[in-house]
Structure formats: C-alpha cells, structure tokens
C-alpha cells in the first residue's frame, strides 16, 4: 500500500482531492482525562480560579477542530458545517470523557478534525487544572466512527 502523503519521489505532498465528489462526511472521536479526586471535585464544583473549566474545554475543542489544518501539515482547510462537543463526568476514574463530532459536505474526511478537537479540549482541561494536579493523564484518544467518502463507514466495536 502506498502512502498518500508522499509523491513518486517520496517527497511529502498534500493529497489532491479536486476530482473527488462532495459527500456528507461525519467523524466522531473521543478521549479521556484522569485526575486526582481533588481536581475532579474542583472542576465539577466549578471552583476553579481560572473560570468554568468544562465550558472552556468545549470552546477550545471547537476551535481545535476548526484549526486542524493550521496544526497538521497535510490536512486540508475545511468548511465544516457542524461541530458538537460533549463532556461526560466519569467519577469512577475520576475524570472526564470528551467527544467531538465533526461534519461537512465536501471532498475529504473530518477524522483528523474530530481527533484534534478532542486533543485540544482535553489539553484545555489539563491547563486549567494543572495547578491542582500535574499528574493528570490524557488517554484513549481515538476515532469512534466515520461515514462518507470512498472508504465508507467505520465504527469502533
């Protein structure tokens, strides 16, 4: 299998998608952040001196999704039609699960956008709580599902 981001001389390139059909494409990604009980309680109780942690993480995840092509060299700038972010409390960790759904009608997929959004959202939680707990762990950042495009559907089992 050839890597699509290398040309015939093995030089990096951005894939040409100009001949591809526009299709509706949706990707869902998720990840977790695990932390101390003290940090978790501070976030859930909205006691952070830096402001509302989870609301800020949602905004950061949306921004990260939109800015993916500025961060990942071979990603195309995309006209996203929707970005949805969910943050779930996971007291047994303790921590949070953050999910991003990215959507567009276009010539290339949105998996990288969803994954970048998750990463930026989780990093924002870390940033806003690191004064309480520097040992937090980001984990399980993964694509949950995608649909649309030539490669069809994917759903993590």
Q: Looking at residue 33, which CATH number applies to its domain?
A: 3.30.70.640
* In-domain check, residue 7: no
> How many alpha carbons lie under 13 Å from residue 134 in its C-beta half-sphere?
1
Q: What is the average pLDDT score of the chain?
A: 93
**In terms of C-beta density within 10 A (0-12 exposed, 13-18 middle, 19 or more buried), how is residue 156 classed?**
exposed
**Rounded percentage of the chain residues whose pLDDT exceeds 70:** 97
Active site residue 140: no
Catalytic residue among 7, 19, 41, 127: 127
Domain annotation covers residue 157: no
What is the extent of the structural domain holding 50? 23-148
> 1 in a domain, yes or no?
no
For the chain, what is the domain count? 1
Tens of pLDDT, residue by residue over 6-31, are 777 778 777 778 878 889 999 999 99
Is 153 inside a domain boundary? no
Q: Is residue 156 part of a domain?
A: no
Asked if the bond preceding 21 is cis, omega within 30° of 0, the reply is: no
pLDDT (0 to 100) of residue 151: 83
Check: CB of residue 68 under 8 Å from CB of residue 27: no
In a domain, 142, yes or no: yes
């Amino acid at each position: 299998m050839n890597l699509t981001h290398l040309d015939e001389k093995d030089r990096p390139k951005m894939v040409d998608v100009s001949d591809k059909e526009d299709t509706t494409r949706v990707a869902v990604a998720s990840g977790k952040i695990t932390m101390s009980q003290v940090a978790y309680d501070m976030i859930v109780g909205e006691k952070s001196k830096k402001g509302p942690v989870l609301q800020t993480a949602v905004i950061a995840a949306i921004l990260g999704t939109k800015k993916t092509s500025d961060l990942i060299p071979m990603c195309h700038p995309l006209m996203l039609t929707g970005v949805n972010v969910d943050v779930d409390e996971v007291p047994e960790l303790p921590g949070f699960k953050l999910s991003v759904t990215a959507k567009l009608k276009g010539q290339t997929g949105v998996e990288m956008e969803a994954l970048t959004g998750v990463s930026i959202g989780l990093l924002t939680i870390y940033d806003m709580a690191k004064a309480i707990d520097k040992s937090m762990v980001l984990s399980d950042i993964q694509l949950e599902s995608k649909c649309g495009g030539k490669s069809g559907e994917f759903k993590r089992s």
